[in-house]
Amino acid sequence: MTGPTLSEPAAAETGTALDRYRLLIDLEDRPGIVESVAGFLGRRGGNILDLDSHSTGEPPRFYMRAEFGVAAGSLDEEEFKREFAREIAPDLGVDCWELWPVARRKRVCVLVSKHGHCLTELLTRWHQGELPCDIDLVVSNHPDMATEAERFGVEYLHVPVEKGHKPEAEAKILERIGGGRYDLHVLARYMQILSPEFLAGAGAPIINIHHSLLPAFIGANPYSRARDRGVKIIGATAHYVTEDLDAGPIIEQDIVRVTHRLGVDEMVQAGRDIERTVLSRAVRWHLEDRVAVHGNSSLVFA
Amino acid sequence: MTGPTLSEPAAAETGTALDRYRLLIDLEDRPGIVESVAGFLGRRGGNILDLDSHSTGEPPRFYMRAEFGVAAGSLDEEEFKREFAREIAPDLGVDCWELWPVARRKRVCVLVSKHGHCLTELLTRWHQGELPCDIDLVVSNHPDMATEAERFGVEYLHVPVEKGHKPEAEAKILERIGGGRYDLHVLARYMQILSPEFLAGAGAPIINIHHSLLPAFIGANPYSRARDRGVKIIGATAHYVTEDLDAGPIIEQDIVRVTHRLGVDEMVQAGRDIERTVLSRAVRWHLEDRVAVHGNSSLVFA
Amino acid sequence: MTGPTLSEPAAAETGTALDRYRLLIDLEDRPGIVESVAGFLGRRGGNILDLDSHSTGEPPRFYMRAEFGVAAGSLDEEEFKREFAREIAPDLGVDCWELWPVARRKRVCVLVSKHGHCLTELLTRWHQGELPCDIDLVVSNHPDMATEAERFGVEYLHVPVEKGHKPEAEAKILERIGGGRYDLHVLARYMQILSPEFLAGAGAPIINIHHSLLPAFIGANPYSRARDRGVKIIGATAHYVTEDLDAGPIIEQDIVRVTHRLGVDEMVQAGRDIERTVLSRAVRWHLEDRVAVHGNSSLVFA
Amino acid sequence: MTGPTLSEPAAAETGTALDRYRLLIDLEDRPGIVESVAGFLGRRGGNILDLDSHSTGEPPRFYMRAEFGVAAGSLDEEEFKREFAREIAPDLGVDCWELWPVARRKRVCVLVSKHGHCLTELLTRWHQGELPCDIDLVVSNHPDMATEAERFGVEYLHVPVEKGHKPEAEAKILERIGGGRYDLHVLARYMQILSPEFLAGAGAPIINIHHSLLPAFIGANPYSRARDRGVKIIGATAHYVTEDLDAGPIIEQDIVRVTHRLGVDEMVQAGRDIERTVLSRAVRWHLEDRVAVHGNSSLVFA
């Protein structure tokens, strides 16, 4: 099922028939990058509408996100990639780049366990046209959220994870979602640690929401631990999943103030609001190609 | 030296000659507390102007902060305390209570090492009448901030802490500030771990500012570690000092968002702003008797 | 239809069978109020669990919110009210007070026009047990949100407002929701100005969400006007509806930062998030009897 | 008097001897801008370290801020400007551009009336090396802040503004600070409306701090009006001064939450903190050439 499109405002404003693309590049920093790339685009009739770049410190690496427009129908994607690979990449040592048409919606699969607030938030935003993607599958190790997925007309795949049989469950999930069938997987409070094999087979980035302001309260029950510690601020963290638990590159974090008046249940509820906000933001940024990974951290061109 | 007074607005507004007091109580929760205390105050002509209370969960304990007014000159503090101890305390099992006249300024001593931004913030606010206290001494293990203290007309006590001679240094400081000579000590980036003996001898609460959002990044160099971890939010924590390093009851925390564009130096600078804000707020709340300690956490009636 | 109950944490924690009530009082400020009320409660076996109060300036008025517990089944509501009216009210000049059992869910009716994000937020939170109320009706001047109400099993009453026939439409709505059939009406982006007659007949408070940080951008199209003015912060305001457009007592406001990168459409989207957050918070506070109106402003005991 | 330099982190990190420059451009949007400019820089050995750009909607205009490095001593500023004017400007129709060496500190003059908190904040930050500029003069229509300026070793020019003699006062001030003697004037709570003649003669941008979240509470006494209206959020606005009072392009805004507990005096105090924060941020951004004016709004490349 495909949600409605939220047209990008700039496109609406220009009033001309433009195809818009995003070009993302990262490479070892050296002089002349911007000139080369801008020249390459210019020779194909591309006009840069938005350009953001950053040169990191040690090691020096250059990241660039350009959004450009060309006359509608004038860009042949395969040819562009071939020529970029020949003309630009070797010269600059670009080993990592991507071209993405703004109009192409990413395919997203959501995984959830029993707590549905993040799932509902994603499905609601998608349904209201606020997340430019296609969501056609929710995977869960529990049956609880089946009716919620159904409410939005999305298929629900229930794969129980029996004790001692996790590899089989993971294999079953991968069979359905792995190998590049999706552009993004979102763990919307999916409470299972994923094996290295699963990560390797997923074939797409995985975003997780952790219910604390990492690196504080890594692991289980962050809210009770936060309350025991008497913190005045709690938060949530959206990050890419890596083999190290709760340690992958952080995409977004946000917080909410808490007081002595809140019991654990109320802190959990306050935390839920932050979790769904932070996860939505991280997913949207990823969908708009705004996130670049640099070592174990991220750059967000937002 | 005594800073100018910032008159409390409510007092100014009422227009009548009132003496204002704060009464703080905490006790094992049981029925009838508010009635007893309100009755006690009422019989002495006290009118409750502001009352805040909270009943904690496990263990059940009741905390109350009342600000009340009496006709100017009508309340004899010693007599009030004697009668409260006789009439109310035993009956309710109140083992912890305090009466404080709003007009009595707390005596504060500030300790600092080399980074002066928190010290300057406190002195500036005090100088502008925003901190209702008396500050007449800055203690430091370094000479660097002497001129800063001087700019505000405050004495500077330089007590170097030589390697292996910390006990002597602590003794020398205690001689000057210990044993209840001050109502509050503030560690405004004083980078020395204090011994249990020092804490015992200080005779007053000690507030410290830690440059991270505890419990994240306990210990040294929180900002570089935050940058290495790629966090999107950094913060600062003001807490009472206990024997456990960076683990005492938290009074206040606040945060600032950071992006990939900030180098470590810039994160340090962004952090400095939060440190001084958080420390000022915690000190002000303490001065206004708004903070109650419950186990290892705090209640802030603000 | 009745949503699931979100049990109040403190009740869960105490572990004893208590009935909880909230008592709200406001009266001309005078000595002895707290004592009288606490005594009255104490004589009925009530134990104050949470008490918040405030004494305003000019004119001096005292507001108090007490949450108290009594042994389950021991309090006869009608008798309590009768006795309070006899013993306390005349003595103190209390002209405005309310007793509300925590367990009694308020009946809420939501009105909406075409923009469904606030409606969906309220229904989702209610459905997830985060809003302690009963919602059984959505009223609209447009048919657009009918399926949304249906998704949550809530009846949808479509009352078109034809040009020149507003009085008839209002009468038709009032027939169904007026005269105290509901405890609260929520305008979740209901884009019709209500007549004084409607307000009089509604028989319950009405909360509206305005999509600007009032008093900035009163009236229509606040987001475009905000963008034209080049503001760096936009916000939303939840307020009680009075006869003056956008001028009733404010309950809650919140903001989001915007930058030059956002077009009007994106500002609208950022604003939607704030609208739904602010409205939910205001409604929840109202449901928990935390809001007191003082002239044209409000006190929020939260 | 010249404050200490806060070295820019990136410069420190690269470890090579680079001169850093900022190039700011704005022009009617058209294809090829980035390519042309990047090429121009590249031919002079310039390496773009940070590039931010934005293409506005109606009318379409392109803004670019590039920070680039060249081998130390290799760039002749006058020659660069001559060549840019010849090679790039006419071709692209660039009518507005600026080259600024990162190492060149802007000269700043601060104007103040009686409220010193913003002045103190600016002087403190400048003194601590957080504002990369030179401040050698404070101008005031009152004598009150003379000792404050003195504390920081800065000259104080007292020019009383007598009723009916404002033109003379303005002329006297202009004689000292006008005609480009300064790169920036900061109104740090200077409570005089400036005449068009003064603005014309100032010869440099003027930043003002307004103590409300514009456009709410334009004009006098914003805090009491905010309290009367019962708002839950107050704020401050830093903007460039134009002939329309409180209506120039906004650079930065920020807010603080307020509650019913705050009297007007306390709201004023809470507001002071926001005023000094917002003004400092706006001044720093201006000093780092991060602000571009587009019609009556601003773009901030931060």
Look at C205 and D53; give whichever has higher pLDDT. C205
**Rama region for C138: left / alpha / beta (φ>0; ψ in -120 to 50; rest):** beta
Kindly report whether the peptide bond that precedes residue B90 is cis, defined as omega within 30 degrees of 0. no
**Start-end of CATH 3.40.50.170 domains in chain B:** 106-300
- Tens of pLDDT, residues B108-150: 999 999 999 999 999 999 999 999 999 999 999 999 999 999 9
**Secondary structure of residue B110 in the 3-state scheme:** strand
A to C CB pairs, distance under 8 Å: 40
- Which ipTM was obtained for this model? 0.89
Q: A278: which residues sit within 8 A by CB, 6+ positions away?
A: A209, A235, A236, A237, A238, A252, A253, A254
CB contact at 8 A, B238 and B279: yes
Q: How far apart are CA D14 and CA D32, in angstroms?
A: 30
Distance from CA of B1 to the nearest CA of D (A): 17
Instruction: Tell whether D238 is within 8 A of chain C (Cβ).
Output: no
Q: Is there a contact between C56 and D260 if contact means CB atoms under 8 Å apart?
A: yes
**Start-end of CATH 3.30.70.260 domains in chain A:** 8-101
Q: Is there a contact between D233 and C214 if contact means CB atoms under 8 Å apart?
A: no
Chain D environment of B9 (Cβ under 8 Å): 262-266
Q: A199: which residues sit within 8 A by CB, 6+ positions away?
A: A206, A241, A242, A243
Quickly count: other Cβ atoms within 10 Å of residue A152's Cβ.
18
Question: In 3-state terms, chain D is what percent helix, strand and coil (to 5)?
Answer: 35, 30, 35
**Distance, CA of A52 to chain centre:** 19
- Tens of pLDDT, residues B6-56: 333 333 344 568 899 999 998 887 778 888 899 999 899 998 888 888 888
Q: How far apart are CA B141 and CA D76, in angstroms?
A: 48
What single-letter DSSP state applies at residue A259?
Answer: -
Instruction: Tell whether C70 is within 8 A of chain B (Cβ).
Output: no
The answer, yes or no, to whether residue C159 has pLDDT greater than 50, is: yes
Residue C15 has a pLDDT of 52
Q: Is there a contact between B230 and A215 if contact means CB atoms under 8 Å apart?
A: no
Q: Retrieve residue B178's tokens.
A: 């210990």
Chain B environment of D124 (Cβ under 8 Å): 120, 124
* DSSP symbols for A63-97: EEEEEEEEETT---HHHHHHHHHHHTHHHHT--EE
Residue D15 has a pLDDT of 52
Strand intervals (E) in chain D: 18-28, 47-55, 61-71, 96-101, 106-112, 133-140, 155-158, 184-187, 206-210, 233-240, 250-257, 291-294, 297-300
Chain B environment of A252 (Cβ under 8 Å): 232
Interaxial angle between packed helices D77-87 and D33-43, expressed in degrees from 0 to 180 and rounded to the nearest 10: 140
**Secondary structure of residue C69 in the 3-state scheme:** strand
Q: Name the D residues in 116-145 with CB < 8 Å from any B CB.
A: 116-117, 120, 124, 128, 130
Closest CA to C113 of C171, C219, C186, C222: C186
* DSSP symbols for C172-194: HHHHHHTTTT-SEEEESS---PP
Measure the CA angle with vertex C53, ends C242 and C60; round to 5°. 65
Measure the CA angle with vertex D7, ends D3 and D9; round to 5°. 150
Strand intervals (E) in chain C: 18-28, 47-55, 61-71, 96-101, 106-112, 133-140, 155-158, 184-187, 206-210, 233-240, 250-257, 291-294, 297-300
Instruction: Tell whether B71 is within 8 A of chain C (Cβ).
Output: no
Predicted TM-score of the model (pTM): 0.91
Answer whether CATH 3.40.50.170 is correct for domain C106-300: yes
Instruction: Tell whether C163 is within 8 A of chain D (Cβ).
Output: no
Question: Which residue does chain B place closest to D272, by CA atoms?
Answer: B130
CB contact at 8 A, A209 and A113: no
What single-letter DSSP state applies at residue C68?
Answer: E
Q: How far apart are CA C252 and CA C56, in angstroms?
A: 19
Helix H, strand E, coil C: the string for C208-242 is EEECCCCCCCCCCCHHHHHHHHCCCEEEEEEEECC
Instruction: Tell whether B257 is within 8 A of chain C (Cβ).
Output: no
pLDDT < 70 regions, chain D: 1-16, 58
Instruction: Convert D25-51 to b/e letters by CB count within 10 Å (16 or more is b).
Output: bbbebebbbbbbbbbbbbeeebbbbbb
Given D246, D254, D273, D289, which residue is catalytic?
D246
**Secondary structure of residue B136 in the 3-state scheme:** strand
Burial class (CB in 10 A: 0-12, 13-18, 19+), A227: buried
Q: Name the B residues in 184-223 with CB < 8 Å from any A CB.
A: 213-217
Chain A environment of B223 (Cβ under 8 Å): none
* H-helix or E-strand spanning residue A43: helix A33-43
* DSSP symbols for D228-264: HHT-SEEEEEEEE--SSTT-SPEEEEEEEE--TT--H
Residue A193 has a pLDDT of 93
Q: How far apart are CA D227 and CA C83, in angstroms?
A: 37
Q: How far apart are CA C117 and CA C106, in angstroms?
A: 22
Q: Is there a contact between D250 and C235 if contact means CB atoms under 8 Å apart?
A: no
Whether D52 is catalytic is no
Q: Is there a contact between D229 and C252 if contact means CB atoms under 8 Å apart?
A: no
Q: How far apart are CA A298 and CA A248, in angstroms?
A: 10
Q: How far apart are CA C87 and CA D23, in angstroms?
A: 78
Cα diameter, chain A = 63
Q: For the domain covering D8-101, report its CATH number.
A: 3.30.70.260
Chain A environment of C259 (Cβ under 8 Å): none
Question: Which residue does chain A place closest to C116, by CA atoms?
Answer: A128
Question: Which residue does chain C place closest to A119, by CA atoms?
Answer: C124
Instruction: Tell whether D28 is within 8 A of chain A (Cβ).
Output: no
Closest CA to B122 of B291, B285, B284, B302: B284
**Terminal CA-to-CA distance of chain A, rounded, Å?**
28
Per the document, the length of chain B is: 302
- A133-140/A96-101 β-pairing: unpaired
Closest CA to C189 of C251, C247, C275: C275
Per the document, the length of chain C is: 302
Interaxial angle between packed helices C222-229 and C264-287, expressed in degrees from 0 to 180 and rounded to the nearest 10: 120
Residue A192 has a pLDDT of 94
Q: Which residues of A have a catalytic role annotated?
A: 246
Q: Is there a contact between D13 and A58 if contact means CB atoms under 8 Å apart?
A: yes
CB contact at 8 A, B293 and D40: no
Q: How far apart are CA D117 and CA D114, in angstroms?
A: 9
Q: Cα–Cα distances in Å, from C288 out to C130, C136, C291?
A: 12, 19, 8
- Tens of pLDDT, residues C252-283: 999 999 999 898 889 999 999 999 999 999 99
Edge-to-edge strands, sheet with A18-28: A96-101, A18-28, A61-71, A47-55, D47-55, D61-71, D18-28, D96-101
Q: How far apart are CA C127 and CA C4, in angstroms?
A: 7
Q: Is there a contact between C57 and B10 if contact means CB atoms under 8 Å apart?
A: yes
Distance from CA of C137 to the nearest CA of D (A): 30
Closest CA to D57 of A10, A16, C261: A10
Q: Is there a contact between D55 and A9 if contact means CB atoms under 8 Å apart?
A: no
Distance from CA of D63 to the nearest CA of C (A): 11
Q: Between B9, B124, B263, which is nearest D10 by CB?
A: B263
Q: Between B6, B124, B265, which is nearest D9 by CB?
A: B265
Residue A15 has a pLDDT of 52
Question: Which residue does chain A place closest to B299, by CA atoms?
Answer: A260
Chain B environment of A261 (Cβ under 8 Å): 54
Q: Retrieve residue B273's tokens.
A: 């702003």
Q: What is the mean pLDDT of chain B?
A: 90
Substitution target in C217, C233, C251, C264 with the highest count of D β-carbons within 10 Å is: C233
Q: B99: which residues sit within 8 A by CB, 6+ positions away?
A: B21, B22, B23, B77, B80, B81, B84
Given C246, C254, C265, C289, which residue is catalytic?
C246
Residue D278 has a pLDDT of 97
Per the document, the length of chain A is: 302
What single-letter DSSP state applies at residue B169?
Answer: H
- Tens of pLDDT, residues B232-289: 999 999 999 999 878 899 999 999 999 998 988 899 999 999 999 999 999 999 999 9
Q: Between B31, B34, B50, which is nearest C54 by CB?
A: B50
- Tens of pLDDT, residues C107-117: 999 999 999 99
pLDDT < 50 regions, chain A: 1-14
Q: Is there a contact between B10 and D273 if contact means CB atoms under 8 Å apart?
A: no
**Secondary structure of residue C118 in the 3-state scheme:** helix
Q: Is the dihedral of CA C184, C185, C189, C194 positive or negative?
A: negative
- What band does C97 get if pLDDT is binned at 50, 70 and 90? confident
Q: How far apart are CA A156 and CA C229, in angstroms?
A: 47
Closest CA to C51 of C32, C38, C70, C36: C38
Question: Which residue does chain A place closest to D68, by CA atoms?
Answer: A31
User: How many C-alpha atoms does D128 have within 13 Å on its Cβ side?
Assistant: 20
Instruction: Tell whether B166 is within 8 A of chain D (Cβ).
Output: no
